[in-house]
């Protein structure tokens, strides 16, 4: 499976909490469509994992429609104007705090995050990226093993949010991975384009950059070629967010990890965290103030 075989992919904790906010669910609806709520939720959850209030966690989520920008994207000369143009079309925008560049989010894009406590010693983000990349491939392989066997981990030139751990099939990227660290915990995050055409999403990002740079030269931003993006369904893999999310759950369990649903965790320990929680709302406000233009 490409570069994923170049070193150990790491192991998951023996027990993890599972939080889900997939599009259309009541839990996802608590966010009110605010693009920053999922990121604020993970920021809050990560703090709680670091404090030992909750076990290491898996977060599966999607957003009905938006464009999440990287910090460098927000500093392009006409980024504000480009964001306003998208908002006028009903496409939410936000500047996220994890690494990477602009990525589109919609109901067909499943986001997978591993929230883990820091252990003693130096963090090896390559190991953590390999771990999540391997888990994504295993999740696809639950329902579509032939497609999963073709997955390659390597940067896809011309894709949006390019990185060393882009996952692709036949040269078309369907997944990118980023990470965010706190003092006592961190999370590794992947967006996975599952259903719908990848090319249209690539065109959305290309047009954003075209407007955001205002014709200026010498700027550092991804030169997106829409044809480099594909959805898993287009590439022979699962074409349903529900099917892929179930594949993630099964892939985690197959690694020997016990997944405890959020409702079960609350019943056993009293811990509860949702999109509507005041702590999450406050974190969203902080992220907006800190990272907005």
pLDDT in tens, 103-123: 999 999 999 999 999 986 666
Q: Which residues are catalytic?
A: 161
Domain interval for residue 268: 2-291
Backbone angles phi, psi at 48, to 5 degrees: -70, -35
pTM recorded for the entire structure: 0.94
Strands in 36-117 per DSSP E: 57-61, 65-69, 92-95, 103-106, 109-117
- Going edge to edge, which strands form the sheet with 103-106? 92-95, 65-69, 103-106
Rounded distance, CA 36 to CA 52, Å? 24
In this structure, what CATH number is given to the domain that contains residue 16? 3.30.930.10
pLDDT in tens, 149-200: 999 999 999 999 999 999 999 999 999 999 988 889 999 999 999 999 999 9
Q: How many domains does the chain have?
A: 1
Rounded distance, CA 140 to CA 230, Å? 14
């Amino acid at each position: 499976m490409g570069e994923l075989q170049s070193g150990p992919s790491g192991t998951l904790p023996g027990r993890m909490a599972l939080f889900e906010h997939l599009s259309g669910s009541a839990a996802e609806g608590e966010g009110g469509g605010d693009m920053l709520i999922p990121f604020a939720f993970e920021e809050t959850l990560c703090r709680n994992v670091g404090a030992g209030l909750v076990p290491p966690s898996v977060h599966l989520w999607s957003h009905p429609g938006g464009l999440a920008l990287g910090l460098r994207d927000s500093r392009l000369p006409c980024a504000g104007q480009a964001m306003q143009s998208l908002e006028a079309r009903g496409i939410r925008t936000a500047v996220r705090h994890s690494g990477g560049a602009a990525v589109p989010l919609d109901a067909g894009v499943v986001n997978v995050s591993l929230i883990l406590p820091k252990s003693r010693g130096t963090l090896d983000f390559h190991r953590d990226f390999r771990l999540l990349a391997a888990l994504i491939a295993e999740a696809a392989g639950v329902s579509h093993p032939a497609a999963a066997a073709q997955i390659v981990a390597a940067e896809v030139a011309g894709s949006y949010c390019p990185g060393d751990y882009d996952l692709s099939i036949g040269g078309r990227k369907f997944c990118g991975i980023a990470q965010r660290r706190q003092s006592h915990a961190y999370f590794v995050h992947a967006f996975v384009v599952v259903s719908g055409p990848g090319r249209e999403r690539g065109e959305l990002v290309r047009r954003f950059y075209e407007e955001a740079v205002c014709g200026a030269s010498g700027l550092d931003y991804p030169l997106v070629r829409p044809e480099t993006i594909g959805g898993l369904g287009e590439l022979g893999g699962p074409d349903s967010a529900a099917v892929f999310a179930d594949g993630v759950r099964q892939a985690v369990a197959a690694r020997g990890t016990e997944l405890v649903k959020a409702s079960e965790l609350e019943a056993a320990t009293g811990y509860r965290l949702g999109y509507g929680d005041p702590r999450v709302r406050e974190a969203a406000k902080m992220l907006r103030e800190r990272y907005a233009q």
